[in-house]
Chain A
Amino acid sequence: TFLQPPRGCDMQWCFSQVKGAIDDDVAEADIISTVEFNHTGELLATGDKGGRVVIFQQEIENKNYPQLRSEYNVYSTFQSHEPEFDYLKSLEIEEKINKIRWLPQKNAAQFLLSTNDKTIKLWKISERDRRADGYNLKEEDGRYKDPNSITSLRVPVLIPMDLMVEASPRRVFANAHTYHINSVSVNSDHETYLSADDLRINLWNLEITDRSFNIVDIKPANMEELTEVITASEFHPNQCNTFVFSSSKGTIRLCDMRASALCDKHSKLFEEPENPSNRSFFSEIISSISDVKFSHNGQYMMTRDYLSVKIWDLKMENRPVETYQVHEYLRSKLCSLYENDCIFDKFECCWNGNDSVVMTGSYNNFFRMFDREHRRDVTLEASRENSKPLQVLKPRKVCTGGKRKKDEISVDSLDFNKKILHTAWHPLDNIIAVATTNNLYIFQDKLTG
Chain B
Amino acid sequence: MDVNVEAKRILAVSISKLYASRTQRGGLRLHRSLLLSLVMRSARDIYHSSRESEAPIAAAPEEPMDTSSRAEEQTQLPEPESEPQPVANGAEAASEVSDSREEESDGETTEDKENVSPTRQSRKRRGKASAAPDFLPSKRARLEPGEERYAAPLGSCRTMAGESLTTLSLNRVIPAF
Contacts and interface: CB of A to CB of B under 8 A. Distances in A.
Contacts of B29: 180
Interface stretch (B37-45, B61-69, B115-123): B37-45
Q: Which 6 pairs from chain A and chain B are nearest by CB?
A: A91-B27, A94-B26, A198-B30, A284-B38, A224-B171, A223-B175
A281 B43 contact: yes
Interface of B: 6-7, 10, 13, 17, 25-27, 29-32, 34-35, 38-39, 42-43, 46, 80, 171-172, 174-175, 177
Contacts of B17: 341
Given A117-B26, A281-B10, A338-B10, A223 B174 contact: yes
Contacts, number: 66
A281 B8 CA distance: 12
Given A223-B174, A335-B10, A338-B13, A92 B39 contact: no
Nearest to B40: A281
User: Taking chain B's interface residues, is the majority helix, strand, or loop, or is none over half, making it mixed?
Assistant: helix
B39 A282 contact: yes
Interface residues of A, number: 29
B26 A339 contact: no
A231 interface: yes
Q: Which of A199, A224, A341 has the most CB of B within 10 A?
A: A224
B34 A248 contact: yes
26 contacts: A91-B26, A92-B25, A92-B27, A94-B26, A96-B26, A117-B26, A179-B30, A198-B30, A199-B30, A224-B171, A226-B30, A226-B34, A229-B31, A248-B31, A248-B35, A281-B42, A281-B46, A284-B35, A284-B38, A285-B35, A285-B38, A335-B10, A338-B13, A339-B13, A341-B17, A344-B35
Given A229-B30, A338-B13, 7 more contacts: A91-B27, A93-B27, A96-B26, A224-B175, A227-B34, A282-B39, A284-B39
Nearest to A336: B80
A118 to B, nearest CB: 9
A231 B35 CA distance: 12
A228 B46 CA distance: 22
A344 B32 contact: yes
Nearest to A346: B31
Contacts of A339: 13, 80
A338 B42 CA distance: 14
A439 interface: no
B36 to A, nearest CB: 9
A288 interface: yes
B33 to A, nearest CB: 9
A338 B30 contact: no
A223 B46 CA distance: 25
A288 B35 contact: yes
A89 interface: yes
A198 B6 CA distance: 30
A180 B34 CA distance: 14
